[in-house]
Chain A
């Protein structure tokens, strides 16, 4: 008995040591996870669309900021003309003073955050596909204003407006760029943002190289494992954004009344050929509502080799009548997708029903 108690005492010491090590390890892991998730917020935007509001009066916080005044003067000396002050619905904390040099297809956005920090971003929008080329003195812990998922071609807090112009011209190369004026600034940049957001979603999110480049400027050191995990989070985020983009496009096509939409909006399943069966099995993300019947049908089901939109139709036909998804419509952009509505949940008795 004495011997047994001594052995148990030894085990107890061992257990205490193991618990301490495990707690330390878990704490570190949790801290890294939180840090990685926060990095995603610095990398990408949740918005698929933005609304740019032109402000009637010059903004006093921009007028009185010396750094802003210096940047405006530098830009005006290079032929830029002031086109107005703006705000974004997506980032209400920012005030924007916009200048343009239409003949060059270049737009300068001087940004002032409500914490007093300011910086300059220069944009050119390629004429045909509205691809954005941008450089900026944007701080490393801030996202570029009009790039929802990509990194600026050049990000250097030390560059002034004059140097940024040179970098933009150097980086964008030849090609035709949009002429932006006070009349078309909001519409042009809203559309460019939408296309960028859709491209980001369609291509599965920010690339590993861009993530690395972006994180390099942050004070925390990120290991290769962190970058891989962040890339995984970004890919999931991109798929969610892809579904949001499909829904936004679907609503733009019109034809659906508010009443029909209100009944359907919480019960959508977006099926497209980039969707993996595993996503349906895990039922994760917005607009992927998987009913119990569908989950059951998916259990142990192997892909037949059909494209996913066809595959989903086939699986839906396997469900009992009355519990199948109803096809609400299709979209062709940002990719071809079918919009399905899940059946209502079965009534399973109710003690409180009269």
Chain B
């Protein structure tokens, strides 16, 4: 009995040690994985457009540093174009400045977490843009063709200006005025995002470069996982923005909208053939006789929306889903509900 208890005693000690070690390792690995994923992705997705809302009394989180940056630029001939909140990014404030004579825009940003940073930019009349920035992030992302971005976190606003002047070439440059600052800013952001959305969103290389810029090290698996998560979040954001755009232009009241919303299927120009097939199946009561049509649809080489319209036209009228409308921004998207709705 004594020997039996001693063997159990040893087994007990070994099990306790093994449990403690594995608990520590698993917990650490899991916590690390989740925090890394969080650091490499953005939960809410990136908006495809921004709306600047003028604000008379901006509550800057770092008023001194913002004031310092503005003063240094005003001393160099910049004119204030006003302070703005960004509707889609609450908590991010910016001040616009324009050097009318030199045809340069400057933006001073302020955010509680990210601090203060400055962009200076100009655009050649041929369409080429250059931006010099001391933003804490953004340099890891690809530049849109025809645009150039130079990032240096250490540079002061006037050094950014010097770099811009040295790098921007001969011109001629596009004219700016303080009155059109907000429009120019919104248009530039929308152009950038349209290019990013159309090329398929964030790339694995961009996620990898963001990861390299961080203190921690990330495995290839983590980067690929972060990329997949980010793509899903961006797709969700795009879907929400299409829905919002349609709601905004719709003549429906809130009650009608709410009744149809859950039944609505959105098809947009960037969807894959698999998405189109899924939409066809969810919108139509299909039977075995329709399978050849579905197979043909999968092989179709048209755009997603044309392929869907072709499929819809093949069905008898009483079975066809109902098209509610279309939006052109952020991408061309159409909205449908099943025939019985």
Contact = CB atoms under 8 A, between A and B. Distances in A.
B255 A252 contact: yes
A8 B255 contact: no
A5 B250 contact: no
A251 interface: yes
B111 A347 contact: yes
B199 interface: no
A9 B210 contact: no
Chain B interface, >50% SS class: helix
Q: Which interface class (under 10, 10 to 19, 20 to 34, 35 or more) fits A?
A: 35 or more
B141 A11 contact: no
Interface string B250-281: 10111111100100000000000000000000
A301 interface: no
Interface in B172-199: 189, 192-193, 196
Interface in B8-25: 8-13
Interface residues of B, number: 54
A349 B114 CA distance: 6
Contacts of A345: 44, 90
A8 B13 CA distance: 8
A257 B7 CA distance: 75
Given A258-B247, A259-B248, A350-B46, A9 B6 contact: yes
A6 B247 contact: no
Contacts of B261: 262
B202 A4 contact: no
A352 B138 CA distance: 7
Contacts of A353: 42, 46, 138
B6 A2 contact: yes
A349 B210 CA distance: 13
A5 B6 contact: yes
17 contacts: A2-B6, A5-B10, A6-B5, A8-B9, A8-B12, A12-B8, A254-B253, A255-B253, A256-B253, A257-B254, A258-B257, A259-B249, A321-B59, A347-B86, A349-B136, A351-B42, A351-B137
Interface of B: 2, 4-13, 39-42, 44, 46, 59, 86, 89-92, 111-114, 136-138, 140-141, 189, 192-193, 196, 202, 206, 210, 230, 243-244, 247-250, 252-258, 261
